[in-house]
């Protein structure tokens, strides 16, 4: 299930194998994945064009398209979001298949054709599909990319500090807010908070400058290692996200709860959160 590193893999796949191929037909029959949905709308908008570039910001991808002929202006952008279980599958003219997105190894059963939610049929006989079991992926023309914050892999330290520390929300919930920082999902958030030794429940206004800076460095290194190792699920602490799991660093028991509406795991020793004494009620402070 894709976070930033998996989406980048999918984007690169499209950039390498999907560009410059004439779109001969479009299957946009899925009434939930293709939005806004009027059957045939995407077919009408895309047939006769080619994809000319593949971009990504956070977990959102979009492809530029060519004019239907050389005299026409460029076509609409094709927005692609993989959701929780989406994967890009590209079939070459000779039938060779390449995939990127949701790691195939984790659900390696044969692909059912019914799970291809959107397909570009190329004139060369190949195709590009959004394969998505849960149908939470999205295909959309001209997606509003500016609604997203800066890409998590490109945000600068000063910008990160400003975006992450304003307000009172739990730091993990803020990291998951795509309008602030784009690309961090549930696993990357747990991994980077663990790496920075910060409790996921810490209200962001309680983060000191040194905490925010440590979290920023954790973001950089977690993205880098996830990209190198093949996805967000390869993080050191991810294997410990299970009942009975222990911290890979100190051996303490891992705790589980819900933060920002998502399943969350943290080290009971290194990521314990306690409010500064000045913010506790008098009776609570006296118990410390």
| Annotated catalytic residue 3 | yes
Beta strands 138-141 and 34-35, pairing class: parallel
127 versus 172: smaller Cβ distance to DNA: 172
Longest dimension (CA), the chain: 77
- The residue from 99, 226, 233, 271 that contacts DNA (CB under 7 A) is 233
Q: Which of 133, 195, 197, 206 binds DNA (CB under 7 A)?
A: 133
User: Residue 201, class by beta-carbon neighbours within 10 Å (0-12 exposed, 13-18 middle, 19+ buried)?
Assistant: buried
Stretch that binds DNA, among 18-26, 151-159, 214-222, 231-239 (CB under 7 A): 231-239
Of the candidates 84, 92, 145, 275, which one interacts with DNA according to CB under 7 A?
84
229 near DNA (CB under 7 A): no
CB of 44 to DNA, least distance (A): 23
Nearest CA-CA partner of 203 in 165, 176, 175, 177:
165
The Cα–Cα gap between 160 and 181 comes to 8
Encoded tokens for 12:
């690169």
Separation of first and last alpha carbons in the chain: 42
Contact between 106 and DNA per CB under 7 A: yes
Query: Of residues 60, 181, 193, 247, which one binds DNA by CB under 7 A?
Result: 60
Q: Which of 167, 208, 217, 284 binds DNA (CB under 7 A)?
A: 167
Of 126, 8, 111, 1, nearest to 59 by C-alpha is 8
Residue 136 near DNA by CB under 7 A: yes
Note if 262 is an active site residue. Answer: yes
Question: Of the listed pieces 15-23, 155-163, 211-219, 260-268, which binds DNA according to CB under 7 A?
Answer: 260-268
Q: Is 263 in the site for DNA (CB under 7 A)?
A: yes
Assign residue 12 a region: left if phi > 0, alpha if psi is -120 to 50, beta otherwise?
Answer: alpha
Number of residues binding to DNA, judged by CB under 7 A:
40
Tell me the window of 54-62, 119-127, 153-161, 219-227 that interacts with DNA (CB under 7 A): 54-62
Contact present, 221 and 212 (Cβ < 8 Å): no
Cα dihedral 78/82/83/86 (nearest 10): 140
Among 40, 74, 230, 261, binds DNA (CB under 7 A): 261
Please tell me which residue in 134, 214, 262, 269 is annotated as part of the active site.
Answer: 262
**Alpha-carbon span 139 to 210, nearest angstrom:** 40
Residue 186 sits in the site that holds DNA (CB under 7 A) = yes
Q: Does 6 sit near DNA (CB under 7 A)?
A: yes
Active-site residue (options: 56, 59, 172, 180) = 59
Q: Residue 255, interface with DNA (CB under 7 A)?
A: no
List the one residue from 89, 215, 260, 271 that touches DNA (CB under 7 A).
Answer: 260
| DSSP code string of 58-90 | TTEEEEEE--SSTTS-----EEEE-TTTEEEEE
Q: What's the rounded Cα separation, in Å, for the pair 109 and 148?
A: 34
| Residues near DNA, by CB under 7 A | 1-3, 6, 32, 58-60, 81, 83-84, 103, 106-107, 109, 133-136, 138, 147, 167-170, 173-174, 176, 178, 185-187, 204, 231-233, 260-263
Residues labelled as active-site residues: 2-3, 59, 262
């Amino acid at each position: 299930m894709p976070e930033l590193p998996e989406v980048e893999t999918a984007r690169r796949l499209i950039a390498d194998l999907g560009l410059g191929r004439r779109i001969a037909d479009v299957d946009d029959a899925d009434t939930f994945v293709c939005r806004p949905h009027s059957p045939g709308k995407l077919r009408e908008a895309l047939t006769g064009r080619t994809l000319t570039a593949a971009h990504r910001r956070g977990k959102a991808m979009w492809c530029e398209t060519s004019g239907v002929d050389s005299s026409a202006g460029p076509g609409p952008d094709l927005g692609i979001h993989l959701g929780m279980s989406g994967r890009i599958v590209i079939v070459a003219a000779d039938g060779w298949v390449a995939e990127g997105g949701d790691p195939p190894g984790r659900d390696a059963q044969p692909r059912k054709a019914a799970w291809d939610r959107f397909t570009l049929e190329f004139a060369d006989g190949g195709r590009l599909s959004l394969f998505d079991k849960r149908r939470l992926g999205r295909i959309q023309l001209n997606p509003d990319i500016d609604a997203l914050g800066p890409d998590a892999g490109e945000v600068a330290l000063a910008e990160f500090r400003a975006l992450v520390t304003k307000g009172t929300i739990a730091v993990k919930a803020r990291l998951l807010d795509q309008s602030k920082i784009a690309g961090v999902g549930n696993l990357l958030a747990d991994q980077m908070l663990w790496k920075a030794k910060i409790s996921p429940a810490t209200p962001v206004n309680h983060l000191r400058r040194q905490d925010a800076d440590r979290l920023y460095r954790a973001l950089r290194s977690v993205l880098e290692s996830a990209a190198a190792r093949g996805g967000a699920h390869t993080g050191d602490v991810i294997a410990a996200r299970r009942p009975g799991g222990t911290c890979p660093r100190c051996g303490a028991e891992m705790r589980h709860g819900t933060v920002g509406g998502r399943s969350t795991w943290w080290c009971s020793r290194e990521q314990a959160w306690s409010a500064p004494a000045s913010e506790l009620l008098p009776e609570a402070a006296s118990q410390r």
